[in-house]
């Protein structure tokens, strides 16, 4: 069949470019996942799971939220999440990808402008592609460029609502958005700031509430539950009218099976723990500071040291995958990241400081990395 032959050719071409992806098992120390607090296999979640089972919380939802899939655990989580993140309301979806799809495909109208950071996540791009609004990129973390783009749009006759889409921590760069300046910009132009907190939730902000916490009462925030919180799902937090609109209009809400009530119960347990005990996020930040210190000794550029995500840019696709394989063989689970996930010529090792490694493990990783780089030079 022509279609299958075409797919085979495409995969072979990816292989020759060292860009073909395959699913591989976990191996060695966890420097690859987004389990930043080490909760995914924690006693905290095991205990929460046992209590949820004792309360007869269903493992599956059985349908969409509008067709009997709604459960008291979903509603309790949304009420507690709204209180935790200091928003009017919250909505629980199956994942952060679906949440971004829902926001950008549903809320902006045809006459609106979505102004997005050039490195915003693929899920936001997918939502924008599905939506009706005009979308324009601005240079990464460049507030001046964002302001100029707004001024140009207004000068050209733009008069709809402006939406500014950013991430608080960027998943492949590990750098942090200038949220205070972006929030000020949003106020000046009566724009809605949409902040994807996927890699900040649980780690940064008071009690892990995120880096955008407290900046702008009118903004939307997205908090994924499958990274720092250790479970799965996504929470959209914002004004109640926005949440009600998503329930009525968002296809990822209306036509998708609701997330598991059991997962909602687990996320509730994590948020309740974070509310009363800041030690998880404080310990994570201590690991991050240690990682930055030893990374500097290993000659990782200082501009790459902003968060728990540390990119080691090697440039060449083949060299990156070879270095990843070498580190895996030495007991460190690190994955190589290649285009199109990152721009061409910036293939990298994405070092993730998770809650599943010790200070000694972190030191050993960067010592090994420094040695391997010397050998490869």
User: pLDDT for 5-23, tens place per residue?
Assistant: 898 888 888 888 877 888 7
Judge if 127 and 234 occupy the same domain.
Answer: yes
For residues 272-280, give the mean pLDDT: 95
Q: What is the pLDDT of residues 189-213, one digit of tens each?
A: 999 999 999 999 999 999 999 999 9
Do 137 and 166 form a contact (C-beta atoms < 8 A)?
A: no
Mean pLDDT of 254-280: 96
DSSP code string of 98-130: HHHHHHHHHSS-TT-EEEEETT--HHHHHHHHH
Residues 69 and 164 in one domain: yes
Residues 160, 133, single domain; the answer is yes
Domain of residue 303, CATH code = 3.90.1150.10
* Distance (Å, whole) CA 168 – CA 85: 15
DSSP 95: -
Q: Which domain holds residue 333?
A: 23-39+279-376
Residues 78 and 155 in one domain: yes
The overall longest dimension of the chain from CA atoms, in Å, is 61
Looking at the domain assignment, is residue 47 inside a domain? no
Burial 88-118 (b: 16+ CB within 10 A, else e): ebbbbbbbbbbbbbbbbbbbbeeebbbbbbe
Which pLDDT value is given to residue 377? 58
Which residues are known to be catalytic? 34, 121, 167, 171, 196, 199, 227
Q: Are residues 205 and 257 in the same domain?
A: yes
Range with lowest mean pLDDT among 6-15, 93-102, 266-275, 320-329: 6-15
The separation between the first and the last C-alpha atoms of the chain, rounded to the nearest angstrom, is 46
Among 240, 256, 276, give the residue marking a domain's end: 276
Shared-domain flag, residues 287 and 271: no
Model pLDDT, residue 373: 75
**Ranges of H-type helices in 208-358:** 240-249, 251-254, 261-276, 279-297, 317-329
């Amino acid at each position: 069949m022509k279609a299958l032959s075409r797919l085979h050719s495409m995969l072979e071409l990816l292989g020759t470019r060292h860009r073909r992806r395959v699913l591989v098992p976990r191996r060695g120390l966890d420097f690859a996942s987004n389990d930043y607090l080490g909760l995914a296999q924690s006693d905290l979640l095991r205990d929460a799971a046992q209590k949820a089972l004792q309360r007869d919380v269903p493992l599956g939802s059985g349908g969409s939220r509008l067709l009997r899939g709604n459960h008291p655990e979903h509603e309790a989580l949304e009420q507690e999440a709204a209180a935790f993140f200091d928003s009017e309301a919250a909505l629980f979806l199956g994942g952060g990808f679906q949440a971004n799809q829902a926001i950008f495909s549903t809320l902006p109208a045809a006459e609106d402008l979505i102004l997005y950071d050039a490195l915003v996540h693929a899920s936001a791009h997918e939502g924008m592609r599905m939506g009706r609004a005009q979308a324009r990129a601005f240079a990464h973390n460049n507030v001046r460029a964002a302001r100029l783009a707004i001024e140009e749009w207004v000068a050209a006759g733009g008069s709809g609502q402006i939406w500014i889409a950013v991430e608080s921590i960027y998943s492949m760069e590990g750098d942090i958005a200038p949220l205070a300046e972006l929030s000020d910009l949003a106020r000046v132009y009566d724009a809605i700031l949409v902040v994807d907190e996927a890699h900040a939730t649980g780690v940064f902000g008071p009690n892990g509430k995120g880096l955008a916490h407290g900046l702008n009462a009118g903004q939307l925030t997205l908090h994924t539950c499958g990274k720092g919180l250790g479970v799965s799902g996504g929470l959209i937090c914002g004004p109640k009218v926005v949440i009600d609109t998503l329930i009525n209009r968002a296809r990822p809400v209306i036509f998708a099976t609701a997330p598991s009530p059991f997962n909602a119960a687990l996320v509730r347990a994590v948020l309740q723990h974070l509310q009363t005990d800041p030690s998880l996020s404080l310990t994570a930040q201590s690991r991050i500071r240690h990682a930055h210190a030893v990374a500097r000794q290993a000659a990782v550029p200082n501009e790459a040291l902003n968060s728990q995500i540390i990119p080691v840019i090697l440039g060449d696709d083949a060299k990156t995958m070879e270095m990843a394989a070498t580190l895996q063989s030495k007991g460190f689970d690190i994955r190589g990241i290649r285009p199109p996930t990152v721009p061409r010529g910036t293939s990298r090792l994405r070092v993730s400081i998770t809650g599943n490694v010790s200070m000694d493990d972190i030191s050993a990783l960067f010592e090994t990395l420094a040695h391997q780089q010397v050998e490869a030079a």
